[in-house]
Amino acid sequence: MLSGETALPDHPYNGIDFVSVSEALNPDPGTEADFRVQGINPFAFTAGQLNKFLNPKSLAAYKAVGGVRGLEKGLRTDLVAGLSVDEVTLEGAVAPVEHQFEDRKRIFKDNTLPAKGAKSIWRLMWEQYQDKILILLTVAAVISLALGLYETLGVKHPAGSPPSVDWVEGVAIVVAIVIVVLVGSLNDFQKERQFVKLNTKKEDRVVKAIRSGKSVQISVHNIMVGDVLHLEPGDMIPADGIFITGHSLKCDESSATGESDQMKKTPGEEVMRQIEAGTASSKLDPFIISGSKVLEGVGTYVVTSVGVNSSFGKIMMALRHEAEATPLQVKLTGLADTIAYLGGGAACLLFIVLFIKFLAHLPNNNGTPAEKGSEFLDILIVAITLIVVAVPEGLPLAVTLALAFATTRMLKENNLVRVLRACETMGNATTICSDKTGTLTQNKMTVVADLLLQVRRMAFSPSSDPRLKPRF
């Protein structure tokens, strides 16, 4: 609370809030870091205290900061003229534009979300290589290549016999593995870069703000805490704030609450008057939530939270997660495990049988030690060959190429698939359950039939299909 202001009563507002005014700005468990500031704070509030207005909406917190006039003083702004375009640090002189609002950025951050760390090509290659089929093929390729080189270079061959090329099979498997890893990682790398460019272009837009008493257009990324922004029908609200003044302002807050009801906004000074008069009710709502949409009316509001501290920013940060495997990839992983177990088990069983046979004939084997060793290597090669034949090394490559080809074709049709599992999930969907706020259309629906007094009438000419004929 600002010094010199009238003390506020320390009690909830008749059940409107479940917290007293003195506790309304205290940090919630786990959010203490938002209430700390490095260095000197030239403002009356921290980012964490301003977040207490919302989640849930709190009139007690609104009163604790002194209403909209308290915000004006505490944020060192002007509800009419907005921020000064010459502001740098609050004690310094005018500096170049790139250093504008230095203190505000230090205390409250800017209206951008931290970029999600893009994966390097090497990490993508490593993740692509974690496929169990590829690992099994690598083991088989190494053993096959080693035995092939030994057969070619370590065993003496009769004069005039053609050179041994047993190592070719191992090299072919290695080449197939390299192709699969390169194609898959390059496809993922290109897709991530496209997503970054798309998000940068999609999120940037201009909004109307008041700075130094003039209405100007600024990028949504340049909004600062304390800015005064215009509100008009159709606007997507870019930051949290408090409604200053306006006429018949109504917002759609379904993106934050899930409810499609129009929320009527009350100017901040009117809310403060009713709070001080003891006539405040839970219907009073001066809070402007980022991510919501203006449906009716016009007005202005003062920004209190931006970027990761805003409601929309917190939702976006909570939705960030590592990409999950698609249903097809899950099935392929199960298939790879099954093939690995069956192929490895069959190869081990065959090796045991042939090895026992080799030991049984060993007393009667009059060959040289080199010949006996060659026979044992032949047994081992047969077992390795069984593994190589059983494992479908072309399966990962086929899936990778199919996904790369499909996403490229969809991109040409202006359909950028952000999550590959979405296509497979919708392809396997049989029933979609949606509540009253669910939206599955473009809101361009045409009535094709109605039911009036138990009489069904069709709004179009029925076809020859008897199921489409009107029933009376």
Task: Transcribe 266-326 into DSSP letters.
Answer: --HHHHHHHHHHT---TT---EEPTT-EEEEEEEEEEEEE-GGGSHHHHHHHHT--PPPPP
Which residue in this structure is represented by tokens 């909830």?
A: 12
Domain locations in the chain as residue ranges: 21-111+223-318, 121-200+324-398
| Distance of alpha carbon 79 from alpha carbon 282, whole angstroms | 25
131 is a catalytic site residue: no
Burial 250-273 (b: 16+ CB within 10 A, else e): ebbbbbbeeeeeebebbbbbebbe
Q: Encoding tokens for residue 204?
A: 């940037």
* 304, 71 contact by CB (below 8 A): yes
- Residue among 103, 110, 435, 450 flagged as catalytic: 435
Q: Which residues contact 247 (CB under 8 A, 6 or more apart)?
A: 297, 298, 299
pLDDT at position 298, please?
94
Q: Each residue's pLDDT tens digit in the chain (472 positions)?
A: 343 343 344 444 444 566 677 778 888 888 888 888 887 888 888 888 888 878 778 888 888 888 888 888 888 888 888 888 776 665 533 333 334 677 788 888 888 888 776 778 888 888 888 876 677 778 777 877 887 777 777 666 666 666 666 678 778 888 888 888 888 788 778 777 776 776 666 677 889 999 988 999 999 988 999 999 999 999 999 999 999 999 999 999 887 777 777 899 999 999 999 988 888 887 889 999 998 999 999 999 999 999 999 988 888 888 777 666 667 777 777 777 787 788 888 888 998 999 898 888 888 877 777 677 668 777 877 887 777 677 665 666 666 667 667 777 877 777 766 666 666 777 777 877 776 555 555 566 677 777 666 665 555 554 544 544 444 4
Burial 87-97 (b: 16+ CB within 10 A, else e): bbeeeeeeeee
Pick the CATH number of 21-111+223-318 from 2.120.10.90, 1.10.510.10, 2.70.150.10, 1.50.10.20: 2.70.150.10
pLDDT at position 4, please?
38
